[in-house]
A and B are shown apart, each in its own frame.
Chain A
Amino acid sequence: MPLVIFVDDSETALASTRMVTNSMPIEVKQYTEAQKALAEIKAGMTPDLIITDLNMPVMNGLEFLQALRALPSTSRTPCLMLTTETKTELKEQGKALGLTGWIVKPFNPAQLKQAITRVLRLPA
């Protein structure tokens, strides 16, 4: 099964994504700190899709994305930003770093599932 990792410092946000994706044919791993996810990726984890929050302490979503793009194993891994942020400049920064898409919270469960299905090319 494809591995999808979620990174969000909000445990309630992670709970909501967990509940929405638990019926999907994917393996899900969740992290409340981007640097922990990054450490596991550096240790050999190879996610098929990364969905990250933007505003997080220590390492924010864009810094995380930048670090991912610098690693050979995740330089082209699809990444979605799942955030409350709506600022165009930040979207542009994400786009320049090869971000796949931008989802504004609160997300619609059906749309999140559709986005994952589309990016991973899962059977609809």
Chain B
Amino acid sequence: MVILNSVDELLSHIKEVQQDAISLSRESLLMISNFIEKNSLEIDNDVVTALQYQDIISQQLTATIEAINSVQSSLDRFSHSYQTDENLVLESMKKLQDKFGVVLSEAKDKKSRFAGKSVNSDVPSEEIEFF
């Protein structure tokens, strides 16, 4: 199961890169917003939108990190059952495949849900819904 260890390491690396991207994008936009506020600069709609995109980027990446965590957990369980009883490998492979399907489906759902109006064309662009 050396290959699974390599996959696990690769996934951990991707998570690290994503976490760094979240931190850097947040830091960069906070620097810009601090500059704007410190100098009392007038902002327009585009600046406000840009600041909010960071939040969306962060949520999208966090959702994929959660998906990677689920995949790693499933790989770990598969690896454990394989080592315990090789006869269970086919059954475990099927469970692993099913789990990957669920993780992918949840990740795609979150991609759509956490995008707000940035990529969802079906969301009315100028609407506040009052109940």
Contact = CB atoms under 8 A, between A and B. Distances in A.
A13 B52 CA distance: 5
A86 B128 contact: no
Interface stretch (B2-10, B13-21, B28-36, B78-86): B28-36
B95 interface: no
| Category for how many chain A residues contact B | 35 or more
Contact of B51 (A13, A55, A86, A95): A13
Contacts of A13: 51-52, 54-55
Interface string A82-97: 0111110001001100
Interface string B29-58: 110010011000001010111011111101
B114 to A, nearest CB: 5
Contacts of B115: 84
B118 interface: yes
Given A12-B54, A55-B59, A20 B48 contact: yes
Interface of A: 8, 10-13, 15-16, 18-20, 55, 80, 83-87, 91, 94-95, 99-112, 114-115
Given A19-B36, A106-B56, 18 more contacts: A10-B26, A12-B52, A13-B52, A15-B51, A16-B33, A16-B51, A18-B37, A19-B37, A84-B118, A85-B113, A86-B120, A99-B131, A101-B130, A104-B116, A106-B53, A110-B45, A112-B128, A114-B128
Interface of B: 26, 29-30, 33, 36-37, 43, 45, 47-49, 51-56, 58-59, 112-118, 120, 123, 126-131
22 contacts: A10-B55, A12-B52, A13-B51, A13-B52, A16-B33, A18-B37, A19-B33, A19-B51, A55-B59, A84-B56, A84-B113, A84-B116, A86-B116, A94-B131, A101-B130, A104-B116, A104-B117, A105-B116, A105-B118, A106-B56, A106-B118, A109-B45
